[in-house]
Amino acid sequence: MFQVFSAVRRVFFKVTGDGGGATLAGLLLGLGLSASAPAAQQLPPEAAQALQRAGIPADALSVVVHDLYSSRSALRWQEQRSVNPASLAKLLTTLAALDRLGPAWAWSTPVWLAGPVKDGVLDGSLHIKGSGDPKLVLERVWLLLHRVQQYGVREIRGDIVLDNSAFAVPDADPGDFDGEALRPYNVRPSALLLNYRSAVYTFVVDETAGVARVLVQPALAGTTVDRTVPLVAGGCGDWRGKLKASFEPGQTRFAGFYPQSCGELNWPVADPQPGTYDARLIGTLWKDMGGRLQGTVREGPAPAADVKPTFEHASPALGEVVRDINKFSNNVMAQQLFLTLALQARRGSPATLEGARDTLSRWLAERTGELGADTVVDNGSGLSRRGRITAQALARLLEQAHDSPVMSELMSSLPISGVDGTLRRSRATPGRAHLKTGSLRDVSGVAGYVLSNSGKRYVLVAIVNHANAGAARPALDALVQWTMRDAPAR
């Protein structure tokens, strides 16, 4: 959809901006082809020096800096090298979703009251079928159950049945990627994913009692939690390590101490029993709301497709979800969206990882040309060692997106330098760059848009693949600052 807008806008700009004469380079760029405009082939000194200080060779960096309103690439450096983009892969997933589904599109979670309701009793079961909604967080699950009660249900004589069949994702250990099974970013996708299958532990200092009080949300039935931890003097430092926490099925223990200097802090933790989390959460909430259940909460099929649901619980609009994904680099939400693309493209069939890869790869090929071995789509989030793309392909996609109908939604979803999201601590001039960040153990990168001192806007893609990539942030900030100064070509 947005390729046409990109071509028309660029050609128009070149024609009007050159006093009526469109150059061959401008026309080629307008058609999405390569233009032969001169570009710096030498890294800015400040970026090169920052890499050297970090112990990162220059050939570990790939960069494109491109003026959005001309054919001039101000800097190209190893732009055709295939690299791991880490979380920059979320740009592909979110942009494809905005383009294919539209910013106002929303997930729908159908709910059936499978039986008559009389005197507050549902003589049958309650069915809830997931469709991939990544925003079924605690408060929205409560609202869903509250609506059930609005239908007059106080007691369910059957079961609460949860249907996950819309996604066909193979079972896997959440710790397969990096051995951190209890990190919320490693939670596996699911068609019905409640509250990210995680809990948040909040530590509140009580100086009088000499303890930190432990709050947990949600507090699941069947799980006991140590409610206090002794306070200790000294710096905050590795406060999580000092707690000596143990997260076991049915029991959370804190055998250590909590530094008083830390004040109030939160610790999000993935549940150690993800397979039963949804059932335990639904059961706990229903009971806390005063509901009664004679049966159990279990997995099972929803009513037949021709049976109209009692109601459908809608998610926030896609534009809002994309903002959460990109601002905070939420891996679980990105993978939910990735599989949703396949579900929507192949209605009637469960979404698979293979289907999602194919759907996103086809979309990407439409935008950047036939995909070669230098592009590998894996899981839609970038939490992968397999993902690959070139800085040139990613920059071209961002150029097209800038001239598309969904430009405002994409740009507003990106972290703002020195202001919010994953760029909150950036040392680049605050407010002048909208950039998605990407980081893994050996990857660090940024990609998005930079507003220069002259008022021009540039696409910037910079990716480091190296064992010391975690130390590359000052070099990336230097590239952003250089671009803000109108990217002087050498």
Give the pLDDT confidence of 47-85 residue by residue, as tens digits: 999 999 999 999 999 999 999 988 788 999 999 999 999
| Per-residue confidence (pLDDT) for residue 32, from 0 to 100 | 39
Say if residue 235 is in the same domain as residue 377: no
Cis peptide before 218 (omega within 30 of 0): yes
Does residue 35 have a pLDDT over 70? Answer: no
Q: Looking at the chain, how many residues does it have?
A: 490
| Torsion region of 115: left, alpha or beta (phi above 0 gives left; psi -120 to 50 gives alpha) | left
* Inter-residue contact 340 to 353 (CB < 8 Å): no
Does residue 206 have a pLDDT over 70? Answer: yes
Does residue 24 have a pLDDT over 60? Answer: no
Say if residue 202 is in the same domain as residue 215: yes
Domain boundary among 315, 350, 377: 315
Say if residue 332 is in the same domain as residue 268: no
Domain boundary among 265, 281, 315: 315
8 inside domain: no
Domain of 340 in residue numbering reads as: 37-104+319-484
Say if residue 44 is in the same domain as residue 159: no
Does residue 207 have a pLDDT over 80? Answer: yes
Q: What percent of the chain has pLDDT over 90?
A: 87
What would the mean pLDDT of 214-225 be, rounded to a whole number?
96
DSSP letter for 263, please. -
Tell me the C-alpha distance between 157 and 268, whole Å.
35
Does residue 18 have a pLDDT over 50? Answer: no
Contacts of 469 (CB under 8 A, 6+ apart): 56, 60, 439, 440, 441, 442, 443, 444
| Per-residue confidence (pLDDT) for residue 487, from 0 to 100 | 67
Six-digit token string for 141: 């699950």
- Following CA atoms 351, 353, 355, 359 in sequence, which dihedral angle do they give, to the nearest 10 degrees? 110
Say if residue 116 is in the same domain as residue 96: no
For the chain, the maximum distance between any two Cα atoms, rounded to a whole number of angstroms, is 80
- Report which residue type is found at 238: D
Say if residue 303 is in the same domain as residue 181: yes
Say if residue 89 is in the same domain as residue 185: no
| Per-residue confidence (pLDDT) for residue 1, from 0 to 100 | 54
- Residues 123-178: pLDDT tens digits? 999 999 999 999 999 999 999 999 999 999 999 999 999 999 999 999 889 999 99
| Per-residue confidence (pLDDT) for residue 348, from 0 to 100 | 84
- Residues 272-312: pLDDT tens digits? 999 999 999 999 999 999 999 999 999 999 999 999 999 99
* Inter-residue contact 317 to 103 (CB < 8 Å): yes
| Per-residue confidence (pLDDT) for residue 45, from 0 to 100 | 95
What would the mean pLDDT of 347-362 be, rounded to a whole number?
96
What would the mean pLDDT of 9-20 be, rounded to a whole number?
37
19 inside domain: no
170 inside domain: yes
Does residue 181 have a pLDDT over 60? Answer: yes
- The lowest-confidence range among 26-40, 96-110, 225-239 is 26-40
CATH of residue 382: 3.40.710.10
| Per-residue confidence (pLDDT) for residue 438, from 0 to 100 | 98
Average pLDDT along the chain = 91
Does residue 22 have a pLDDT over 80? Answer: no
CATH of residue 304: 3.50.80.20
What would the mean pLDDT of 22-43 be, rounded to a whole number?
46
Say if residue 311 is in the same domain as residue 343: no
18 inside domain: no
Tell me the C-alpha distance between 126 and 469, whole Å.
50
4 inside domain: no
Q: What percent of the chain has pLDDT over 70?
A: 91
As for how many domains the chain has, the answer is: 2
- Residues 224-243: pLDDT tens digits? 999 999 999 999 999 999 99
- Please give the backbone phi and psi of residue 172, each rounded to the nearest 5 degrees, phi first: -155, 155
| Per-residue confidence (pLDDT) for residue 70, from 0 to 100 | 85
Say if residue 429 is in the same domain as residue 467: yes
Q: What is the pTM of this model?
A: 0.91
The residues facing 204 across adjacent strands are: 213
CA atoms within 13 A on the CB side of 47: 24
Sort strands 82-83 and 108-114 into parallel, antiparallel or unpaired: unpaired
Tell me the C-alpha distance between 424 and 415, whole Å.
8
- Residue 138 CB coordination number (10 Å): 17
| Per-residue confidence (pLDDT) for residue 393, from 0 to 100 | 94
Does residue 99 have a pLDDT over 80? Answer: yes
Q: Which of the two residues, 17 and 68, has the higher pLDDT score?
A: 68
Say if residue 328 is in the same domain as residue 268: no
Does residue 10 have a pLDDT over 50? Answer: no
3 inside domain: no
Say if residue 310 is in the same domain as residue 363: no
- Residue 44 CB coordination number (10 Å): 24
Domain boundary among 315, 331, 351: 315
338 inside domain: yes
What would the mean pLDDT of 265-269 be, rounded to a whole number?
98
133 inside domain: yes
Q: Which has the closest alpha carbon to 352: 107, 94, 167?
A: 167
pLDDT band at 40 (very low <50, low <70, confident <90, very high): low
Say if residue 152 is in the same domain as residue 173: yes
